Structure 1
Amino acid sequence: MTLKLLKSFLKYITIFIVALIAILLCFYLYLISGSTKQGDITWHSCYRPAYWSWFILPPPTSLQCATLSVPVDYVKPDGKHFVIPLTRLPATGDDIIGDLLLLSGGPGGHSLDMSTTMGSDEYSQAIKERFHILGYAPRGVKPSTPAIDCGGVEEEGNAKAYMDACIQHTGTDILPFVSSKEVVMDLDSIRQALQNDTWSMVGYSYGTKLVAKYAEHYPKALRAGVADGVVDTAEDLETILFNQQKHAQIAFDGFMKSCQAPCVFDKNKEPNQAFLDTLNTIAQKDLKDKDGKVIDQKALIGVFGESMNDESAWQTMHQMFDELIQGNTDTYDFEKLIAKIGEKSFSSDALSIINCADSAPKLDKDDYIKSAKAIDNQSQFDNYKTRPDDEYLDSCYYWQWTATDDLNENLVNDDTPNLLFVSYEYDLATPLPNAMTMAKKFDDPLIVLSGQYGHTVSLFGTNACVDDYVSRYLLDPKSDFGDKLLFCAKP
């Protein structure tokens, strides 16, 4: 190619690149220029710079963002305020029913991008056509502001310093007002700001607690409510943790039984001991992950715990342990990366503090330790070391305020809307008995994924049976399924 042709070629390439940049810039400016007014809320494109920090991955171009200011203390509405982030995925059809709010788990998670995790099957599509899908970040949970912040101090084995750091970085004027009681009031503030007479909700895990309480306190404002992975609102924190550890052991036993020959765990040993021996063998290899951190028993339990409640991930976990025995960290590194990405949209500080604000036990030191030991003893597979008594004192032992949960509250009456409950038969986070208790309390249907291990499923496109029931209910809350107890098998 001659020099003249080369210069001509580069000239046209430069013109093409400049034109492309101009086109993309024009598209971006067009994308962020639009806005939609809904009541007191003005929806903008989530691609505006003010909203970039809300998302790990780029959101759909149709996703809209907004914020709402709510009082820290509803008794003092003129005092400090939280800024609550909101998102909306507009309905794609014409015959729109209204707004559907998704409530994430935790506490400590937000649902700002949860609409993007909905399935692409006919059931989820039917919901996207008829509803504007809303997400939000609860008070105290990033990116709401102010957010609960404990300064990077770890809670485990350091609870007093952890709580001191939470107070220092978040403030005593904020911490007492991050409980679910205030969050439920925030939800109705959002509804009023949107000028909705009624709206619908799907709550996952901790979000089911919010759905249930909202149904009790604002019965005429809730059109439909799905509770998937059900919290029993009459249980105190001790009972919740006790049952979670009990069912964690059940899930672990299922995991060990699923290990096919040749199994990395010694089948001739008691399962808990076989697992702990494998952890010890791996720890003795002094392996390090891609971040240079030692892969010890604590690290292994942490990665394993992320997947133990998901039966579909068990084979990967077996593969991971088998590779580690051979000195290969590939699967471990990948699983840790996935967990790290998930942590960016979840606040462990908010998890601890909101649980304390809701139901911190009021026990003396000896009784607190005794209770914590009883909880710990419900699962044996993770007891890789002996813990001193003081390590059983967690952040809630040092909580200075009165917990706000009213465990005896029951406002269910004839005006309470029909709800729909969903539960796996084996769920360590929110065990099936929780769902059975709540379905009986509200006298509403319960869908059970029989013989299956897992946690939350609705509208993810992974179980058509569940999604069929859920979508039919959301489209018509008075749907009659013919029975109050419904079962869905493995797909």
Structure 2
Amino acid sequence: MTQIKRNAALVATSAVLLGLTAPLTTSASAATPSLGWTKCAGTGLDPRQQCATVKVPMDYAHPDGRKIDVVISRIPAENPATRRGALMLIPGGPGGSSLNDPSGKGQKLPQDVRDAHDLIGFAPRGLAPSTSVDCGLEHADLALSKLRPWPAPDGSVAENMVTAQRMADACARNGGELMRHISTVTEARDLDRIRAALGERKISAWGVSYGTYVGSVYSQLFPHRTDRIVLDSNDDPDPTRVSRAWLAGHEQGVEDVFPEFAKWASAPDNPDRLAGTAAGVRPLFLKLAARLDREPIPWPGANPEELNGNVLRQTLLDTLYSPSRFPALAKLILAARAGTVPPAPAAPPEQVLQNVAAVGAATLCNDVAWPASAAEYQKGVDESRVKYPLTAGMPRNAMVCAAWPTPPKQAPVRITDRGPSNILLVQNERDVATPLAGALKLRRALGDRAVMVTVNSTGHDAYLLHGNACGDETVSRFLATGERPDADVYCD
């Protein structure tokens, strides 16, 4: 599973196109008579960014039935003479939006990429300002340590099963019909409706985290509609487990990244030093988490309003997304060891939390059937707690999907090696959310359709974020020219 800024508080296609440089479209406007572009809502946006609404079927099995809105954004290609087409910015999540990304991370793209592509963002179905959904969850169930299924201190999953039922009931009661039509496949079909509305014969894409799965599914369903596809920080595409595999991946992800935190937290010149050696950080953390299981510290303004062992474990998981977060975790650990807490972290408005949680739950639960047996989860949690104590069994536990009232409408899409060889995967070697082990499974599934750039870096999201010139230049060259390495590349 993936995670971007909006839901960090809650809890991210054979060689047909290589070397092809002739524009797919030659008009800067790309024939968009059906779209009414207007000024986007919000502040701090690039004045060139405009928004429009695309009408899509709520239920693709009944395409002439009820329509819903998907709001999209665009900053046009900066050099009409070299314009190639549209670059879809596919967000992470599920529950993330790229609506403001043309003004944000899109402006970090090299000039030749921005010259050649309209930058297209969107709010996926269910997520405001597109037609939105809301489960009306209890405030306490919006806590990250509830949305992520941390077992009880003794490892029991009984309370998690009760929580899953309560949340699933709320989504069934309050979510409306749209909740049953939010999934990765429907998002991929929406992307093709956006492509058509833009007047594009083919689209390129930069998908990040969960967006790599969306991009993979799109490339599988609509291979003839893809141009240059970059998948950044890649999800395990296992068609038998899908989101269950993403959750389980956190076990290895934490183990991949924790040594980097331990090395940083034991450096002699670190003002927030936790231990004299890197080896000493792990037992210190585990001991503190166990103590907080027994003796939580009140934390006014937080959700929940206490620092308990699972809140600390969830904070560790969140922290390992980026080394820039290491100091905040160290300060929290130092405070908790002294029996205090820092000020409670700020949270997004509850309306945003409710919306993101609902879209996330619907996608995860509609993509694949989850087991309903508490015994099956308990067995997995017991095994995980022994092998991976830092994550205490959470990655194999029961989410809201264990009690989801409706089965998936179709089997998950199997990602295969059939289709054009126009995919470039880029992946950090140490990534807590989308670990390298899962990314390699996607690489194997795609076969000759893809090559992979592995970057010697720590954190979630690889392209243009960590300053690795080799990785960044390889991806940028592909987006700008279509030139792709002949084989997989390791960037030190």
TM-score range, shorter chain: 0.7 to 0.9
Q: Distance in 2 between matches of 1:343 and 1:229?
A: 28
Distance change in 2, residues 1:178/1:75 (3 Å): same
Aligned pair 1:101/2:88, yes or no?
A: yes
Instruction: Check conservation: 1:373, 1:392, Cα contact below 8 A.
Output: no
Query: Equivalents in 2 of 1:268, 1:110: separation in Å?
Result: 37
CA distance in 1, matches of 2:58, 2:195: 17
CA contact (8 A) 1:249 1:378 kept: no
Matched, 1:470 2:457: no
Size of the aligned set, in residue pairs, is 432
Q: Partners in 1 of 2:387 and 2:248 — Cα distance?
A: 7
| Aligned residue number for residue 489 of structure 2 | 486
Q: Tell me the distance in 2 between the aligned counterparts of 1:468 and 1:189.
A: 31
Displacement after TM superposition at 1:289 (Å)? 5.3
| Displacement after TM superposition at 1:220 (Å) | 1.4
Secondary structure, aligned partner of 1:197: coil
**Post-superposition offset of 1:312:** 3.7
User: Residue 355 of structure 1: which of 356, 364, 373 is its match?
Assistant: 364
Deviation at 1:228, TM superposition (A): 0.5
Q: Secondary structure at the match of 1:116?
A: coil
Superposed CA deviations along residues 411-466 of structure 1, whole A, max 9, x for unmatched, are 533x424100011112121121222232233322111112x321112234733322
Matches within 5 A, 1:7-406: 38-46=32-40, 51-52=41-42, 57-94=43-80, 95-118=82-105, 124-152=110-138, 154=141, 156=146, 157=160, 158-171=163-176, 173-235=177-239, 236=241, 237-260=243-266, 263-265=273-275, 271-279=281-289, 286=297, 288=299, 293-325=305-337, 333=344, 336-337=345-346, 340=348, 344=352, 347-375=356-384, 377-383=386-392, 392-403=397-408, 406=411
| Helix, strand or coil at the partner of 1:250 | helix
- Residue 251 of structure 1 aligns with an amino acid whose one-letter code is V
Corresponding position: 1:419 with 2:423: yes
Distance in 2, matches of 1:467 and 1:343, equals 36
**1:101 partner SS:** strand
Consecutive unaligned residues of structure 2, counting only runs of 5 or more, are: 1-28, 147-159
- Per the TM alignment, residue 272 of structure 1 is displaced from its structure 2 partner at its CA by 4.2
Find out whether 1:453 has 2:458 as its counterpart: yes
Cα distance in 2, alignment partners of residues 306 and 430 from structure 1:
13
Give SS of 2:102's match: helix
Q: C-alpha offsets along residues 184-215 of structure 1, whole Å, 9 cap, x if unaligned?
A: 11110111111111111000011001111111
Pick closer, same or farther for the CA change 1:374–1:107 going to 2, 3 Å. Answer: farther
Letter in 2 for 1:358: D
Letter in 2 for 1:128: R
Q: Distance in 1 between matches of 2:361 and 2:79?
A: 41
Amino acid at match of 1:185: R
CA contact (8 A) 1:287 1:295 kept: yes
d(CA) in 2 for partners of 1:245, 1:280: 18
Question: What are the superposed Cα offsets for residues 330-375 of structure 1, whole Å, 9 maximum, x if unpaired?
Answer: 5x65xx23x6489958813322221111123245342243234445
- AA at the equivalent of 1:68: V
Percent identical: 24
Deviation at 1:135, TM superposition (A): 0.5
CA contact (8 A) 1:40 1:193 kept: yes
Instruction: Rate the CA distance shift 1:368–1:278 in 2: closer, same or farther, 3 A.
Output: closer
Q: Which has the higher contact order (CA 8 A, sep 6+)?
A: 2
Q: Which has the larger radius of gyration?
A: 1
**Separation in structure 2 between the aligned mates of residue 410 and residue 43 of structure 1, nearest angstrom:** 35
- C-alpha displacement of 1:301: 3.3
- Name structure 1 gaps, 5 residues minimum: 1-34
- Write the deviation string for residues 120-164 of structure 1: whole angstroms up to 9, x where unpaired: 66x533322221111111112233213243434517341111111
Q: Which amino acid aligns with 1:109?
A: G
- How far residue 113 of structure 1 moved from its aligned partner, in angstroms, is 1.1
Q: How far off is 1:61 after superposition?
A: 1.6
Secondary structure at 1:251 match in 2: helix
Q: What letter is aligned with 1:161? A: R
How much does 1:314 deviate?
2.2
Q: 1:467 to 1:404 in 2, by over 3 A?
A: farther
Check the 8 A contact 1:198/1:221 in 2, yes or no: yes
Pick closer, same or farther for the CA change 1:107–1:319 going to 2, 3 Å: same
For residues 266 and 145 of structure 1, the distance between their equivalents in structure 2, rounded to whole angstroms, comes to 53
1:409 counterpart SS class: coil
Residue 109 to residue 342, structure 1, CA distance change in 2 (3 Å): farther
Is the 8 Å Cα contact of residues 99 and 131 (structure 1) preserved in structure 2? yes
Residues 1:461 and 1:397: Cα distance change in structure 2 (over 3 Å): closer
RMSD: 3.3
